[in-house]
Amino acid sequence: MADVNASPVDPTALAGWIRRALPGGGDVSISPLGEGHSNLTFLVRRGGEEWVLRRPPVGPLLPTAHDVVREYRVLTLLGAAGHVRVPRTVAVCTDAAVIGAPFYLMQRQDGAVIRDALPPWLAADVDAQRALGLDLADTLAEIHRADWRPFVGAGLGKESGYLERQLRRWVGQREGIEAAVAATGARARQLPDYDAVRDWLRAHLPAEVEPAVVHGDFKLDNVIVGPGDQPRVAAVVDWEMATVGDPRADLGYLLSFWPEPGEEFALGDLVASGPGFPARADLVTRWADATGRDPGETRWFVALAVWKLAILLEASYHRHLAGMADDPFFATLDVGVPALLARAREVAGA
């Protein structure tokens, strides 16, 4: 069993690698940023330089999950595009022997990550809330206007078949969880709403549209806001699920994390909101105007988003049960995952 208390990064080994890989000198320090529940992030300092390190979590992982080298390649291509708000990549290490897993460094972006609560300057300003919400839609549109062809050429996506592959992939992730649990002599818990939504998504698969670069996890807490008191997205982070596909999947994912006034998110207080934030329909209109695309019926994509999130978090829940993850959030998934699947089924009407 993996020791979840062991340090995910050996400072001495990391410092040696940095000396070999990057020009400059000085002592290296590292501290956890403690944000997110997927890949691990750390602040690395050397002299006057500051970088963010990304590496996979400790413990056994599902196939294709937490591929930080791929994420580095995506960010590098997007940086070359010039108009997408992403941090600048610095260096990548594919040798897992250095710190126990592949990792990469990117430029630190000043600003705030908004998770379960609004910062005071934003909570008190409804105009700023609306401006930020609309800028989030603009930021997503910028991603979807990027040229997707270099990503296909680099093997980071395919021109067609995205939605079918999404269904196959996430069904496979669920089956992978069941197989991993069975290998321990136990049985994964039954999730009947998972099956109902899976069947509905298959039966109502939308027709293909012109592809785009898709983020795969686009929501408020995967952007950096600021710096300062400006209601603007400075950079988009957490690109591990990015590929080429149907941009409406990103739009549906954003909407799934965007409650209307009076609504509650299935995982409780993980979603920040405010009275000034635009309605979901406003986000759709803004995105459609900025991309020139027809959003069509968003219900299928919202249901897909919630269903996928439930599968992803079910894997985290089983890592928690196996003693391979000590994030207290994972303990809440005992009820959180079924609540998400119930929400997906409600959206689908399945």
- Return d(Cα 158, Cα 168) in angstroms, integer: 15
Q: Tell me what pLDDT residue 225 has.
A: 95
Where in the chain do CATH 3.30.200.20 domains reside? 11-107
Buried/exposed 104-133: b ≥16 CB within 10 Å, e otherwise? bbbebbebbbbeeebeeebeebeebbbbbb
Complete DSSP assignment for 140-162: HHHHHHS--HHHHHTTS--SS-H
Residue 183 CB coordination number (10 Å): 8
- Angle at which helix 333-348 crosses helix 299-321, to 10 degrees, equals 160
User: Tell me: domain 120-348, CATH 3.30.40.10, correct?
Assistant: no
- Angle at which helix 247-256 crosses helix 126-145, to 10 degrees, equals 160
Location of structure tokens 């710096």: 227
- Return d(Cα 56, Cα 54) in angstroms, integer: 7
- Return d(Cα 161, Cα 84) in angstroms, integer: 25
- Return d(Cα 195, Cα 200) in angstroms, integer: 9
Domain 11-107 CATH superfamily: Phosphorylase Kinase; domain 1 (3.30.200.20)
Are the CB atoms for 79 and 86 separated by under 8 Å?
yes
- What tens digit of pLDDT does each residue of 43-98 get? 999 988 999 999 987 655 444 556 899 999 999 999 998 899 999 999 999 999 99
Read off the pLDDT of each residue in 162-181 and give the average, rounded to a whole number: 94
Location of structure tokens 């299928």: 300
Residue 206 CB coordination number (10 Å): 15
The average confidence (pLDDT) of the chain is: 90
Read off the pLDDT of each residue in 238-266 and give the average, rounded to a whole number: 91
- What tens digit of pLDDT does each residue of 282-320 get? 999 999 999 999 999 999 999 999 999 999 999 889 888
- Angle at which helix 333-348 crosses helix 192-203, to 10 degrees, equals 30
Where in the chain do CATH 3.90.1200.10 domains reside? 120-348
